[in-house]
Chains A and B, each alone.
Chain A
Amino acid sequence: GEDVEQSLFLSVREGDSSVINCTYTDSSSTYLYWYKQEPGAGLQLLTYIFSNMDMKQDQRLTVLLNKKDKHLSLRIADTQTGDSAIYFCAELNQAGTALIFGKGTTLSVSS
């Protein structure tokens, strides 16, 4: 079945770049997403990438997609303390009816 894996924790210093990695199993995935969850809040869509793209950049965020290895990464440049949150990688399931989420990566940014 469809599955999404990501590392659980990442700790960086303010000003450094953060890279959060994700692997997925469904090679037919059309859309892959990154969501951010801050404490006590719902999920907020950060960015998404269509499967025919290798890279997408949006301000401080860069998404890289390696379709051959089924590997997705999110790079946050100049990481700030306000970026501390849980980041979820997700893929759209084959039926197009649900997002399949990874378990989330907790990003901790220290000043």
Chain B
Amino acid sequence: EAQVTQNPRYLITVTGKKLTVTCSQNMNHEYMSWYRQDPGLGLRQIYYSMNVEVTDKGDVPEGYKVSRKEKRNFPLILESPSPNQTSLYFCASSLSSGQATEAFFGQGTRLTVV
């Protein structure tokens, strides 16, 4: 079954404690992306990756890092989480960017930073 898998689904952490949200896709997609969803703001892109070792900033990259060492994985790293990073995070992948290819979304990770 084609899917994007994020872990964990729910996470409560304390300010400053480094964390990683994993994202894995089994569709051999080149393009992967991270979004955050906040009430009243919709979804905003954090980072994206066009292929292995190719990553770039989206609209709201501050406080986040990513890496793309393998095609299937695209982890989101919060080196020093702060309460304003409390949000619902989605990973997405698609065959390529810039075309009408379907973007597959993960189930989401609800992060709370206290």
A87 to B15, alpha carbons, bound, how many Å?
A: 33
A40 to B102, alpha carbons, bound, how many Å?
A: 20
For B41, give its contact among A31, A43, A50, A103 (CB under 8 Å).
A103
A99 to B41, alpha carbons, bound, how many Å?
A: 14
B4 pairs with A96, CB closer than 8 A: no
Min CB–CB distance B54 → chain A (angstroms): 11
Min CB–CB distance A15 → chain B (angstroms): 29
Given A96-B98, A97-B98, also A103-B42 (CB < 8 A): yes
Min CB–CB distance A34 → chain B (angstroms): 12
A59 to B43, alpha carbons, bound, how many Å?
A: 27
For B90, give its contact among A42, A50, A104 (CB under 8 Å).
A42
A103 to B44, alpha carbons, bound, how many Å?
A: 10
Is B95 close to A, CB under 8 A?
A: no
Chain A's closest residue to B59 (CB) is A98
Interface size on B, residues (CB 8 A): 26
Min CB–CB distance A111 → chain B (angstroms): 27
Q: How many A-B Cβ pairs are below 8 Å?
A: 54
A44 to B3, alpha carbons, bound, how many Å?
A: 12
Interface residues of B in 14-51 (CB under 8 A from A): 33, 35, 40-45, 48, 50
A98 pairs with B58, CB closer than 8 A: yes
A99 pairs with B100, CB closer than 8 A: no
Provide the residues of chain A in CB contact with B98, threshold 8 Å: 92, 95-97
Min CB–CB distance B40 → chain A (angstroms): 6
Min CB–CB distance B24 → chain A (angstroms): 14
Is B107 close to A, CB under 8 A?
A: yes
Provide the residues of chain B in CB contact with A97, threshold 8 Å: 45, 48, 50, 56, 58, 97-98
Provide the residues of chain A in CB contact with B100, threshold 8 Å: 31, 48, 50
Chain A's closest residue to B96 (CB) is A96
B59 pairs with A42, CB closer than 8 A: no
Is B74 close to A, CB under 8 A?
A: no
A41 pairs with B42, CB closer than 8 A: no
Given A42-B90, A88-B43, A104-B42, also A99-B103 (CB < 8 A): yes
